[in-house]
């Protein structure tokens, strides 16, 4: 499938490249990513643009376009050695591993709070600025995250495509259903660092960052 996607692209003109740069196209590192040589070359190719014929997104380099194609093809060559979860991009694997190690390298310069992901820090900063750039076109309600707006829109449609196979209750989001199932199993994987009480959802304590997953030995 991935080969079919790539075959839909016009080859660039390689006449201005030396043999080392051309050979870089054939090289991959152990993680399954295109080589640093290719990445360096791709960023300097003159007058070339690469458009994804699946979604129409345009990239300034073939390297970035090929990496993007993995998302369409379903190819996930990077595997976490701890739990076996697979990823498309190296940066996502690195962020995931930090969840296992507990590392929180990103800190808020305003309040000092630490986060595992840079994207989480970016969202957190908006709690200080009050920035809510995403607005609902139906009711005008504003949100700090595009994801929250996406979830909110479904409150207007009433669509609940995810249903519990045990009790039949329906939910707008798959992750709502995931937490709901725990009410049937009695699973409480999150514990409060203050009172040691366990919960089936981080939302029950109100502050996600104060909770830590209980080590049950399950992946």
Which CATH number does the domain housing residue 191 bear? 3.30.160.60
Please report, for residues 189, 200, 203, 214, the alpha-carbon distance to residue 196 in angstroms, rounded to integers and kept in the order given. Answer: 12, 13, 16, 10
Does 112 map to a domain?
Answer: yes
Domain boundary among 114, 132, 157: 157
CB 175 within 8 A of CB 159: no
Does 94 map to a domain?
Answer: no
Strands 58-59 and 78-79: unpaired
Contacts of 109 (CB under 8 A, 6+ apart): none
6 plus 68 within the same structural domain: yes
One DSSP character per residue, 102-151 reads: T---EE-TTT--EESSHHHHHHHHHHHH----EE-TTT--EESSHHHHHH
The domain containing residue 28 runs over which residues? 2-73
Per-residue confidence in pLDDT tens, the chain, 219 aa: 434 443 443 333 334 334 444 343 334 333 344 444 444 444 444 445 677 777 878 877 776 777 777 777 666 667 888 888 877 777 778 888 888 888 888 899 999 999 888 888 888 888 888 888 889 999 999 988 888 888 888 889 888 888 999 999 998 888 788 888 888 887 766 655 556 666 655 544 444 444 444 444 444
120 plus 168 within the same structural domain: no
CA distance 157 to 154: 5
| DSSP state, residue 116 | S
208 plus 183 within the same structural domain: yes
Q: How many domains are there within the chain?
A: 3
Nearest alpha-carbon partner for 127 in 141, 111, 149 = 111
| DSSP state, residue 46 | T
């Amino acid at each position: 499938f991935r080969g079919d996607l790539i075959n839909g692209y016009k080859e660039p003109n390689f006449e201005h490249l030396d043999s080392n740069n051309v050979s870089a196209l054939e090289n991959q590192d152990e993680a399954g990513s295109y080589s640093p040589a290719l990445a360096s070359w791709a960023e300097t190719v003159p007058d070339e643009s690469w458009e994804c014929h699946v979604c129409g997104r345009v990239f300034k380099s073939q390297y970035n376009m090929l990496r993007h194609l993995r998302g369409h093809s379903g190819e996930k060559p990077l595997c976490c050695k701890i739990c076996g979860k697979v990823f498309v991009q190296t940066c996502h694997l690195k962020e995931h591993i930090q969840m296992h190690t507990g590392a929180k390298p990103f800190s808020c310069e305003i309040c000092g709070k630490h986060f595992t992901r840079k994207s989480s820090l970016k969202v957190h900063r908006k709690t200080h600025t009050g920035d809510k750039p995403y607005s609902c076109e139906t009711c005008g309600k504003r949100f700090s995250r595009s994801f929250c707006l996406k979830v909110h829109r479904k409150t207007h449609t009433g669509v609940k495509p995810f249903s519990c196979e045990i009790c039949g209750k329906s939910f707008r989001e798959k992750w709502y259903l995931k937490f709901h199932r725990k009410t049937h199993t009695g699973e409480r994987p999150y514990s409060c660092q203050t009172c040691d009480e366990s919960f089936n959802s981080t939302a029950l304590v109100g502050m996600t960052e104060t909770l830590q997953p209980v080590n049950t030995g399950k992946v």
